[in-house]
């Protein structure tokens, strides 16, 4: 290789490394924006300070396409790859609050998506298993979450309707897509005393919390309407 070509290759490597570093940058400006987001969520009714603290730590802008950076800390959902979305911060906070988990709990997430909800759960110190149906998002989460220091116990490429029997029962199960019904495998995989948080419905979903009281007894409560992308099945 000629000297000029080598210099161009070296220059390209430095440029790529520069942009990689910029992309993963979390500045004081971003932290200030997160603090304002936390205050917005508190004003909207999120009361769990541990959840608010986790929202305040996770760099949401790094989970979004660069063209949306200026909107990363507004309380809105935005599109990501595979026709999916990164959920509205209020929705993430509300589902996490309803899950009512503590450090060390074993949690199953249905719908890894961008990985943002997973990061919030991991900030709370849970042992997280997360299932993603879209291969593009699954592979991206596998690469990206560890770069930010977030390490789930396992990421699974599969059908969320089936859950993940291998590590059941779970202290909590959270579904981040709109389900037309409550999948029975998720109920079976829930620990007694555990909670399933799932938005149920078609065009509009009702946030539903199922608490398992015994082997056969479940209590259901509903917490208002939300809008999610549909929960898909038939993978694996």
Does 9 have pLDDT greater than 70?
A: no
CATH fold, domain 26-226, is Rossmann fold (3.40.50)
Both structure tokens of 28: 């004081």
Check residue 8 and report its DSSP letter: H
pTM for this structure? 0.86
Reported as a single tens digit per residue, the pLDDT across 173-217 is: 999 999 999 999 999 999 999 999 999 999 899 999 999 999 999
Say what the pLDDT of residue 81 is: 72
Check residue 64 and report its DSSP letter: S
| Of the candidate ranges 22-26, 30-34, 122-126, the one whose mean pLDDT is the lowest | 22-26
Query: For residue 164, what pLDDT band results from cuts at 50, 70 and 90?
Result: very high
pLDDT (mean) for 146-156: 96
Both structure tokens of 134: 């879209």
CA distance 73 to 69: 8
The share of the chain scoring above pLDDT 90, in percent, equals 74
HSE, side-chain direction, 13 A CA sphere, residue 35? 6
CA distances from 149 to 30, 59, 145, 231 (A): 18, 12, 7, 28
Does 102 have pLDDT greater than 60?
A: yes
Say what the pLDDT of residue 31 is: 92
Does 111 have pLDDT greater than 80?
A: yes
Does 17 have pLDDT greater than 50?
A: no
Q: Are 217 and 203 in contact (CB under 8 A)?
A: no
More confident residue, 14 or 76: 76
Reported as a single tens digit per residue, the pLDDT across 32-71 is: 999 999 999 999 999 999 999 999 999 999 998 765 677 8
Distance of CA 113 to the CA centre of its chain: 6
pLDDT (mean) for 142-157: 96
| Coarse DSSP helix, strand, coil percentages of the chain, rounded to the nearest 5 percent | 45, 25, 35
Domain positions in the chain are: 26-226
Q: Are 189 and 168 in contact (CB under 8 A)?
A: yes
Active site residue 66: no
- Per-residue burial over 131-169, b if 16 or more Cβ lie within 10 Å, else e, is bbbbeebbebbeebbeebebebeebbbbbbbbbbeeebb
Say what the pLDDT of residue 141 is: 94
Share the mean pLDDT of the chain: 88
Neighbouring residues of 129: CB distance < 8 A, sequence distance ≥ 6: 106, 107, 108, 109, 152, 153, 154, 155, 156, 164, 167, 170
Catalytic residue among 67, 87, 114, 130: 87
């Amino acid at each position: 290789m000629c000297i000029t070509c080598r210099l161009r290759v070296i220059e390209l490597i430095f440029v790529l490394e520069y942009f990689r570093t910029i992309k993963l940058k979390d500045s004081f400006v971003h932290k200030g924006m997160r603090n304002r987001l936390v205050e917005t969520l508190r004003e909207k009714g999120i009361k769990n300070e541990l959840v608010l603290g986790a929202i305040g730590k996770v760099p949401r802008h790094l989970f979004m396409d660069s063209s949306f950076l200026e909107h990363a800390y507004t309380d809105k959902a935005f599109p990501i790859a595979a026709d999916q979305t990164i959920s509205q911060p209020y929705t993430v906070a509300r589902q996490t609050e309803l899950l009512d988990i503590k450090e060390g709990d074993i949690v199953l997430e249905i719908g890894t998506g961008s990985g943002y909800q997973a990061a919030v759960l991991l900030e709370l110190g849970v042992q997280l298993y997360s299932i993603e149906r879209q291969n593009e998002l699954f592979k991206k989460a596998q690469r990206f979450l560890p770069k930010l220091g977030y390490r789930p116990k396992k990421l699974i490429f599969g059908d969320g309707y089936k859950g993940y029997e291998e590590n059941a029962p779970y202290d909590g199960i959270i579904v981040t897509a709109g389900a037309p019904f409550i999948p029975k495998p998720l109920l079976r995989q829930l620990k007694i005393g555990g909670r399933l948080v799932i938005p149920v419905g078609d065009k509009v979903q009702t946030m539903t919390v199922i608490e398992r009281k015994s082997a056969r007894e479940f209590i259901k409560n509903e917490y208002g309407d939300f809008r999610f992308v549909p929960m898909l099945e038939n993978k694996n």
